[in-house]
Chains A and B, each alone.
Chain A
Protein backbone atom coordinates (compact mmCIF):
# COMPACT_ATOMS: atom_id res chain seq x y z
CA UNK A 1 0.00 0.00 0.00
CA UNK A 2 1.37 3.37 -0.92
CA UNK A 3 0.46 5.15 2.30
CA UNK A 4 -1.61 7.87 0.62
CA UNK A 5 -4.98 8.14 2.35
CA UNK A 6 -7.99 7.00 0.36
CA UNK A 7 -9.71 10.36 0.06
CA UNK A 8 -6.79 11.92 -1.73
CA UNK A 9 -6.37 9.38 -4.47
CA UNK A 10 -7.84 10.25 -7.80
CA UNK A 11 -9.11 7.75 -10.32
CA UNK A 12 -9.51 8.60 -13.98
CA UNK A 13 -12.49 7.29 -15.92
CA UNK A 14 -12.91 7.34 -19.68
CA UNK A 15 -16.32 7.40 -21.35
CA UNK A 16 -17.37 6.02 -24.73
CA UNK A 17 -16.61 9.36 -26.39
CA UNK A 18 -13.14 9.38 -24.85
CA UNK A 19 -13.81 12.11 -22.28
CA UNK A 20 -11.74 11.79 -19.13
CA UNK A 21 -13.17 12.35 -15.65
CA UNK A 22 -11.03 12.64 -12.53
CA UNK A 23 -12.84 11.16 -9.60
CA UNK A 24 -11.92 10.99 -5.93
CA UNK A 25 -11.51 7.41 -4.81
CA UNK A 26 -14.11 7.99 -2.08
CA UNK A 27 -16.66 8.74 -4.81
CA UNK A 28 -15.36 5.91 -6.98
CA UNK A 29 -16.28 3.52 -4.17
CA UNK A 30 -19.95 4.17 -4.97
CA UNK A 31 -19.34 3.01 -8.54
CA UNK A 32 -19.12 -0.62 -7.52
CA UNK A 33 -18.17 -1.83 -10.98
CA UNK A 34 -15.23 0.56 -11.01
CA UNK A 35 -14.28 -0.35 -7.46
CA UNK A 36 -14.26 -4.03 -8.37
CA UNK A 37 -11.94 -3.24 -11.26
CA UNK A 38 -9.63 -1.35 -8.92
CA UNK A 39 -9.66 -4.16 -6.38
CA UNK A 40 -8.87 -6.69 -9.08
CA UNK A 41 -5.88 -4.67 -10.28
CA UNK A 42 -4.31 -4.77 -6.83
CA UNK A 43 -5.02 -1.07 -6.26
CA UNK A 44 -2.43 -0.12 -8.79
CA UNK A 45 -4.49 1.86 -11.29
CA UNK A 46 -2.65 4.63 -13.03
CA UNK A 47 -4.10 4.71 -16.51
CA UNK A 48 -7.69 5.78 -17.18
CA UNK A 49 -10.31 3.10 -16.68
CA UNK A 50 -12.37 2.70 -19.84
CA UNK A 51 -16.15 2.51 -19.48
CA UNK A 52 -17.31 1.16 -22.83
CA UNK A 53 -21.00 1.35 -21.97
CA UNK A 54 -21.13 4.79 -20.41
CA UNK A 55 -21.55 8.07 -22.25
CA UNK A 56 -20.27 11.43 -21.09
CA UNK A 57 -23.72 12.86 -20.41
CA UNK A 58 -24.61 9.98 -18.10
CA UNK A 59 -21.32 9.82 -16.23
CA UNK A 60 -21.43 13.54 -15.69
CA UNK A 61 -24.93 13.27 -14.17
CA UNK A 62 -23.97 10.32 -12.01
CA UNK A 63 -20.90 12.04 -10.62
CA UNK A 64 -22.94 15.16 -10.04
CA UNK A 65 -25.46 13.13 -8.04
CA UNK A 66 -22.80 11.34 -6.02
CA UNK A 67 -20.80 14.48 -5.29
CA UNK A 68 -23.88 16.26 -4.06
CA UNK A 69 -25.03 13.37 -1.93
CA UNK A 70 -21.62 13.05 -0.34
CA UNK A 71 -21.71 16.75 0.37
CA UNK A 72 -25.16 16.52 1.96
CA UNK A 73 -24.21 13.58 4.08
CA UNK A 74 -21.17 15.30 5.51
CA UNK A 75 -23.17 18.47 6.11
CA UNK A 76 -24.62 19.38 9.46
CA UNK A 77 -28.31 20.19 9.57
CA UNK A 78 -31.27 19.98 7.22
CA UNK A 79 -29.39 17.56 5.00
CA UNK A 80 -32.54 15.49 4.45
CA UNK A 81 -34.58 18.41 3.20
CA UNK A 82 -31.87 19.65 0.90
CA UNK A 83 -31.25 16.16 -0.41
CA UNK A 84 -34.95 15.65 -1.11
CA UNK A 85 -35.11 18.97 -2.93
CA UNK A 86 -32.01 18.12 -4.95
CA UNK A 87 -33.38 14.70 -5.84
CA UNK A 88 -36.68 16.15 -7.00
CA UNK A 89 -34.91 18.70 -9.22
CA UNK A 90 -32.57 16.03 -10.50
CA UNK A 91 -35.44 13.80 -11.55
CA UNK A 92 -37.38 16.66 -13.12
CA UNK A 93 -34.41 17.88 -15.15
CA UNK A 94 -34.41 14.78 -17.33
CA UNK A 95 -36.58 13.70 -20.20
CA UNK A 96 -37.86 10.15 -20.23
CA UNK A 97 -35.14 9.16 -22.69
CA UNK A 98 -32.45 10.65 -20.50
CA UNK A 99 -33.94 8.94 -17.47
CA UNK A 100 -33.79 5.57 -19.16
CA UNK A 101 -30.24 6.16 -20.38
CA UNK A 102 -29.19 7.09 -16.88
CA UNK A 103 -30.71 3.94 -15.40
CA UNK A 104 -28.72 1.82 -17.82
CA UNK A 105 -25.52 3.63 -16.96
CA UNK A 106 -26.19 3.44 -13.21
CA UNK A 107 -26.99 -0.24 -13.59
CA UNK A 108 -23.77 -0.91 -15.49
CA UNK A 109 -21.70 1.02 -12.97
CA UNK A 110 -23.67 -0.57 -10.12
CA UNK A 111 -24.44 2.63 -8.22
CA UNK A 112 -26.88 1.19 -5.75
CA UNK A 113 -28.48 4.28 -4.17
CA UNK A 114 -28.84 6.18 -7.41
CA UNK A 115 -30.32 3.13 -9.12
CA UNK A 116 -32.93 2.74 -6.39
CA UNK A 117 -33.82 6.40 -6.70
CA UNK A 118 -34.09 6.20 -10.49
CA UNK A 119 -36.16 3.02 -10.39
CA UNK A 120 -38.52 4.72 -7.98
CA UNK A 121 -38.69 7.71 -10.31
CA UNK A 122 -39.67 5.53 -13.25
CA UNK A 123 -42.18 3.71 -11.06
CA UNK A 124 -43.70 7.09 -10.20
CA UNK A 125 -43.88 7.98 -13.88
CA UNK A 126 -45.69 4.81 -14.94
CA UNK A 127 -47.87 4.75 -11.83
CA UNK A 128 -51.54 4.79 -12.68
CA UNK A 129 -50.88 5.14 -16.40
CA UNK A 130 -52.46 3.15 -19.17
CA UNK A 131 -50.96 0.10 -20.78
CA UNK A 132 -50.41 2.06 -24.02
CA UNK A 133 -48.45 4.73 -22.19
CA UNK A 134 -46.22 2.11 -20.65
CA UNK A 135 -45.66 0.43 -24.01
CA UNK A 136 -44.65 3.78 -25.52
CA UNK A 137 -42.37 4.60 -22.63
CA UNK A 138 -40.39 1.39 -22.91
CA UNK A 139 -40.78 0.95 -26.65
CA UNK A 140 -42.57 -2.37 -26.31
CA UNK A 141 -44.59 -4.00 -29.04
CA UNK A 142 -47.85 -5.59 -28.08
CA UNK A 143 -47.62 -9.31 -28.73
CA UNK A 144 -51.12 -10.21 -27.59
CA UNK A 145 -53.89 -10.91 -30.02
CA UNK A 146 -56.90 -8.63 -29.51
CA UNK A 147 -58.82 -11.58 -28.05
CA UNK A 148 -56.12 -12.46 -25.55
CA UNK A 149 -55.81 -8.89 -24.42
CA UNK A 150 -59.56 -8.52 -24.08
CA UNK A 151 -59.72 -11.63 -21.94
CA UNK A 152 -56.91 -10.48 -19.67
CA UNK A 153 -58.43 -7.07 -19.22
CA UNK A 154 -61.80 -8.51 -18.33
CA UNK A 155 -60.30 -10.74 -15.70
CA UNK A 156 -58.87 -7.75 -13.96
CA UNK A 157 -61.41 -5.11 -14.77
CA UNK A 158 -61.40 -3.66 -11.30
CA UNK A 159 -57.73 -2.75 -11.62
CA UNK A 160 -58.31 -0.74 -14.78
CA UNK A 161 -60.80 1.62 -13.19
CA UNK A 162 -59.35 4.93 -12.23
CA UNK A 163 -56.42 4.78 -14.63
CA UNK A 164 -55.29 8.16 -15.94
CA UNK A 165 -56.06 9.02 -19.52
CA UNK A 166 -52.99 9.45 -21.71
Chain B
Protein backbone atom coordinates (compact mmCIF):
# COMPACT_ATOMS: atom_id res chain seq x y z
CA UNK B 1 0.00 0.00 0.00
CA UNK B 2 1.38 3.41 -0.83
CA UNK B 3 2.39 5.46 2.19
CA UNK B 4 2.67 2.52 4.58
CA UNK B 5 6.45 2.79 4.55
CA UNK B 6 6.14 6.43 5.67
CA UNK B 7 5.00 5.52 9.15
CA UNK B 8 8.27 4.16 10.47
CA UNK B 9 9.66 5.31 13.77
CA UNK B 10 13.36 5.62 14.62
CA UNK B 11 14.45 4.09 17.90
CA UNK B 12 15.71 7.39 19.37
CA UNK B 13 12.36 9.02 18.62
CA UNK B 14 10.59 6.03 20.13
CA UNK B 15 12.51 6.48 23.39
CA UNK B 16 11.80 10.21 23.46
CA UNK B 17 8.07 9.76 22.88
CA UNK B 18 8.01 7.09 25.61
CA UNK B 19 9.77 9.44 28.04
CA UNK B 20 7.18 12.17 27.40
CA UNK B 21 4.43 9.59 27.66
CA UNK B 22 5.61 8.37 31.07
CA UNK B 23 5.90 11.96 32.36
CA UNK B 24 2.27 12.58 31.49
CA UNK B 25 1.22 9.23 32.93
CA UNK B 26 2.88 10.15 36.21
CA UNK B 27 1.03 13.49 36.27
CA UNK B 28 -2.35 11.82 35.95
CA UNK B 29 -1.56 8.63 37.86
CA UNK B 30 -2.11 6.31 34.91
CA UNK B 31 0.47 3.77 36.05
CA UNK B 32 2.91 3.54 33.11
CA UNK B 33 6.63 3.24 33.75
CA UNK B 34 9.76 2.82 31.63
CA UNK B 35 11.89 -0.25 32.31
CA UNK B 36 15.51 -0.31 31.10
CA UNK B 37 17.29 -3.60 30.53
CA UNK B 38 20.57 -3.81 32.46
CA UNK B 39 22.68 -5.42 29.76
CA UNK B 40 22.02 -3.48 26.56
CA UNK B 41 20.28 -0.30 27.72
CA UNK B 42 17.21 -0.81 25.60
CA UNK B 43 13.87 -0.80 27.33
CA UNK B 44 10.12 -0.77 27.20
CA UNK B 45 6.98 0.85 28.61
CA UNK B 46 5.10 -1.21 31.17
CA UNK B 47 1.73 -1.04 32.89
CA UNK B 48 -0.18 -3.52 35.04
CA UNK B 49 -3.85 -3.25 35.89
CA UNK B 50 -6.83 -5.34 36.90
CA UNK B 51 -10.05 -5.69 34.99
CA UNK B 52 -13.35 -7.19 35.94
CA UNK B 53 -14.87 -9.53 33.40
CA UNK B 54 -18.49 -10.61 33.41
CA UNK B 55 -19.16 -14.19 32.48
CA UNK B 56 -22.28 -13.78 30.38
CA UNK B 57 -23.33 -13.83 26.76
CA UNK B 58 -25.66 -11.00 25.71
CA UNK B 59 -28.64 -12.22 23.57
CA UNK B 60 -27.46 -10.69 20.26
CA UNK B 61 -24.02 -12.30 20.42
CA UNK B 62 -25.55 -15.66 21.34
CA UNK B 63 -27.07 -15.86 17.85
CA UNK B 64 -23.76 -15.19 16.13
CA UNK B 65 -21.93 -17.72 18.22
CA UNK B 66 -22.17 -21.15 16.67
CA UNK B 67 -19.55 -22.85 18.78
CA UNK B 68 -19.30 -23.57 22.46
CA UNK B 69 -16.61 -21.00 23.22
CA UNK B 70 -17.81 -18.75 25.97
CA UNK B 71 -17.61 -15.07 25.07
CA UNK B 72 -16.00 -13.20 27.91
CA UNK B 73 -16.75 -9.51 27.79
CA UNK B 74 -15.24 -6.62 29.59
CA UNK B 75 -17.02 -4.43 32.04
CA UNK B 76 -14.86 -1.37 31.57
CA UNK B 77 -13.82 -0.14 34.95
CA UNK B 78 -13.25 3.61 35.28
CA UNK B 79 -10.48 3.26 37.82
CA UNK B 80 -8.12 0.32 37.61
CA UNK B 81 -8.54 -1.89 40.66
CA UNK B 82 -5.79 -2.25 43.19
CA UNK B 83 -5.12 -5.51 45.01
CA UNK B 84 -7.49 -4.80 47.94
CA UNK B 85 -10.36 -3.88 45.67
CA UNK B 86 -9.77 -6.91 43.50
CA UNK B 87 -10.30 -9.23 46.46
CA UNK B 88 -13.71 -7.68 47.16
CA UNK B 89 -15.19 -8.52 43.74
CA UNK B 90 -18.04 -10.99 43.92
CA UNK B 91 -17.84 -14.54 42.57
CA UNK B 92 -20.09 -14.11 39.51
CA UNK B 93 -17.43 -11.81 38.11
CA UNK B 94 -13.80 -12.60 37.48
CA UNK B 95 -10.78 -10.40 37.96
CA UNK B 96 -8.02 -10.58 35.39
CA UNK B 97 -4.57 -9.10 35.85
CA UNK B 98 -3.28 -7.52 32.64
CA UNK B 99 0.30 -6.58 32.01
CA UNK B 100 1.02 -4.44 28.93
CA UNK B 101 4.47 -3.76 27.48
CA UNK B 102 5.36 -1.48 24.59
CA UNK B 103 8.57 -2.53 22.85
CA UNK B 104 10.38 -1.27 19.78
CA UNK B 105 10.83 -3.53 16.75
CA UNK B 106 14.00 -2.62 14.88
CA UNK B 107 13.02 -5.02 12.07
CA UNK B 108 9.75 -3.23 11.30
CA UNK B 109 10.67 0.13 12.87
CA UNK B 110 7.38 0.37 14.73
CA UNK B 111 6.31 0.00 18.36
CA UNK B 112 4.82 -3.37 19.26
CA UNK B 113 2.27 -4.12 21.99
CA UNK B 114 2.98 -7.19 24.13
CA UNK B 115 0.61 -8.29 26.87
CA UNK B 116 -0.22 -11.15 29.17
CA UNK B 117 -3.19 -11.86 31.33
CA UNK B 118 -3.91 -14.17 34.22
CA UNK B 119 -6.63 -14.80 36.76
CA UNK B 120 -5.97 -14.00 40.41
CA UNK B 121 -5.07 -17.60 41.14
CA UNK B 122 -2.23 -17.30 38.62
CA UNK B 123 -3.83 -19.27 35.80
CA UNK B 124 -2.89 -17.56 32.53
CA UNK B 125 -5.56 -16.86 29.94
CA UNK B 126 -5.38 -19.09 26.88
CA UNK B 127 -5.07 -17.74 23.36
CA UNK B 128 -8.72 -18.67 22.78
CA UNK B 129 -9.80 -16.69 25.84
CA UNK B 130 -7.73 -13.73 24.62
CA UNK B 131 -9.24 -13.95 21.11
CA UNK B 132 -12.68 -14.16 22.68
CA UNK B 133 -12.10 -10.99 24.65
CA UNK B 134 -11.04 -8.87 21.68
CA UNK B 135 -13.36 -5.90 21.28
CA UNK B 136 -16.51 -6.74 19.29
CA UNK B 137 -15.71 -4.31 16.46
CA UNK B 138 -12.46 -6.15 15.68
CA UNK B 139 -13.93 -9.65 15.81
CA UNK B 140 -14.50 -9.88 12.02
CA UNK B 141 -10.88 -9.10 11.24
CA UNK B 142 -9.79 -11.58 13.88
CA UNK B 143 -11.98 -14.36 12.42
CA UNK B 144 -10.47 -13.81 8.96
CA UNK B 145 -6.91 -14.23 10.07
CA UNK B 146 -6.34 -14.90 13.75
CA UNK B 147 -2.76 -15.87 13.11
CA UNK B 148 -2.04 -12.46 11.60
CA UNK B 149 -3.46 -10.48 14.49
CA UNK B 150 -2.80 -11.76 18.00
CA UNK B 151 -0.38 -14.60 18.59
CA UNK B 152 1.65 -15.92 21.47
CA UNK B 153 5.34 -15.04 21.19
CA UNK B 154 8.48 -14.90 23.27
CA UNK B 155 9.14 -11.50 24.85
CA UNK B 156 12.47 -10.41 23.27
CA UNK B 157 13.86 -8.96 26.51
CA UNK B 158 12.31 -11.12 29.25
CA UNK B 159 12.22 -14.39 27.30
CA UNK B 160 8.74 -15.30 28.60
CA UNK B 161 5.53 -16.05 26.67
CA UNK B 162 3.41 -13.00 25.93
CA UNK B 163 0.60 -12.26 23.51
CA UNK B 164 1.50 -9.86 20.74
CA UNK B 165 -0.55 -7.64 18.50
CA UNK B 166 1.12 -8.26 15.15
CA UNK B 167 3.12 -5.30 13.79
CA UNK B 168 1.65 -5.70 10.26
CA UNK B 169 -1.68 -4.56 11.64
CA UNK B 170 0.01 -1.49 13.13
CA UNK B 171 0.52 0.01 9.70
CA UNK B 172 -3.12 -0.58 8.75
CA UNK B 173 -4.42 1.15 11.86
CA UNK B 174 -1.88 3.97 11.83
CA UNK B 175 -2.35 4.75 8.12
CA UNK B 176 -5.99 5.50 8.88
CA UNK B 177 -5.11 7.83 11.77
CA UNK B 178 -2.03 9.59 10.39
CA UNK B 179 -3.70 10.26 7.04
CA UNK B 180 -1.40 13.12 6.05
CA UNK B 181 2.31 13.02 5.34
CA UNK B 182 4.69 12.21 8.15
CA UNK B 183 6.15 15.69 7.71
CA UNK B 184 2.90 17.25 8.87
CA UNK B 185 2.82 15.07 11.96
CA UNK B 186 6.50 15.09 12.85
CA UNK B 187 5.93 16.54 16.28
CA UNK B 188 2.93 14.45 17.22
CA UNK B 189 3.63 11.87 19.88
CA UNK B 190 3.49 8.70 17.78
CA UNK B 191 3.17 6.50 20.86
CA UNK B 192 0.02 8.24 22.06
CA UNK B 193 -1.60 8.11 18.62
CA UNK B 194 -0.58 4.49 18.10
CA UNK B 195 -1.52 3.21 21.55
CA UNK B 196 -4.87 4.97 21.59
CA UNK B 197 -5.64 3.24 18.28
CA UNK B 198 -4.40 -0.32 18.92
CA UNK B 199 -4.80 -0.50 22.71
CA UNK B 200 -8.61 -0.76 22.74
CA UNK B 201 -8.38 -3.90 20.55
CA UNK B 202 -6.98 -5.67 23.60
CA UNK B 203 -8.75 -3.85 26.42
CA UNK B 204 -6.24 -1.06 26.97
CA UNK B 205 -7.66 2.45 27.02
CA UNK B 206 -5.89 5.79 27.30
CA UNK B 207 -7.55 8.56 29.31
CA UNK B 208 -8.48 11.54 27.14
CA UNK B 209 -5.91 13.82 28.79
CA UNK B 210 -3.13 12.21 26.72
CA UNK B 211 -4.59 13.97 23.69
CA UNK B 212 -3.65 17.25 25.33
CA UNK B 213 -0.02 16.11 25.46
CA UNK B 214 0.00 15.21 21.79
CA UNK B 215 -1.46 18.60 20.86
CA UNK B 216 0.85 20.52 23.23
CA UNK B 217 3.97 19.01 21.75
CA UNK B 218 2.68 19.76 18.29
CA UNK B 219 1.92 23.40 19.15
CA UNK B 220 5.16 24.06 21.06
CA UNK B 221 7.26 22.64 18.27
CA UNK B 222 5.39 24.58 15.58
CA UNK B 223 5.74 27.81 17.58
CA UNK B 224 9.46 27.19 18.02
CA UNK B 225 9.90 26.65 14.32
CA UNK B 226 7.98 29.76 13.36
CA UNK B 227 10.07 31.83 15.80
CA UNK B 228 13.25 30.58 14.17
CA UNK B 229 12.20 31.21 10.56
Judge: A and B partners, yes or no: no
Q: Give me the interface of B with A, judged by CB distance under 8 Å.
A: none
Q: Give me the interface of A with B, judged by CB distance under 8 Å.
A: none
